[in-house]
Chain A
Amino acid sequence: MIEHTAVVEWQRTGGESFVVQRYSRRHPVSFDGGATVALSASPHAVATPYADPKAVDPEVLFVTALASCHLLWFLSIAASDLAAHLLA
């Protein structure tokens, strides 16, 4: 088993009307390799300026996880198929 970790953080910024949903949805994620990415609710889901259109939304992260995993498997299978072809 392999464990993969991520730390998601959000801080309320002063002067916002939190209880009436007027707060920034921007939140960073930090990975153990040192990368940090600015995240936010999508502007499709929450109006700007409370959503940040320049940040990455969780829906697109989910899509990226699947696209990246597929790409890595595809490359691995293509490399072994090429090896089998060259040995044949």
Chain B
Amino acid sequence: MSGMSEHTAVVEWRRVAGEAFVDNRYSRRHAVTYDAGVTVALSASPHVVPVPYSDPSAVDPEELFVTSLASCHMLCFLYLAAKAGYLVDSYRDAASGILGRNAAGAAAITVVTLRPHCEFSGAPQPSPAELAALHDQAHHDCFLASSVHSEIRIEPAL
């Protein structure tokens, strides 16, 4: 990729009529809208703020962070696999991130673990070592991985 591109999102929250706010009992539900017209309901995680002030059916920012890294890694991986001549049929990553404390004692997503599982068809197919090399290169190329301090572990499932 060359040059710069700008990616925009509009995040909005409104106090629900009647909520005092000052008592911390306010809905953490908010929405993000993208320029293509997609809207996604967001909330603080129920691990962080109790229900009903958080909404367990909405997406939390930690999950968005993990998803951005998993999605970027996958797109880089597919590009490299195609370039190497491997025909990928499917890719699935049950990714996770740990919200803990960093070395400075601040709350942070300290570790993100990607667990990519790919299915290939035809020939050639990558050996486990070639698969690991593709993931190493995808990690190196992933511009979102380069944007964060979190440790990123890649544990390919064979």
Contact = CB atoms under 8 A, between A and B. Distances in A.
A38 B97 CA distance: 20
Contact of A8 (B82, B87, B95): B95
Nearest to B71: A58
Nearest to B38: A56
Contacts of B57: 33-35
Contacts of B8: 60, 63
- The A contact surface, by secondary structure, is mixed
A33 B9 contact: no
Nearest to B54: A72
Interface in B48-78: 48, 55-72, 74-75, 78
Interface in A7-40: 7-12, 18-21, 23, 25, 27, 29, 31, 33-35, 37-39
Interface of B: 1, 5, 7-9, 11, 13, 21-24, 26, 28, 30, 32, 34, 36-38, 40-42, 44-45, 47-48, 55-72, 74-75, 78-79, 82-83, 85-100, 109, 143-144, 147
Contacts of B59: 31, 33, 35, 37
- Among B24, B47, B66, B85, the one with the most A-chain Cβ atoms within 10 Å of its Cβ is B66
Contact of A18 (B21, B87, B93): B87
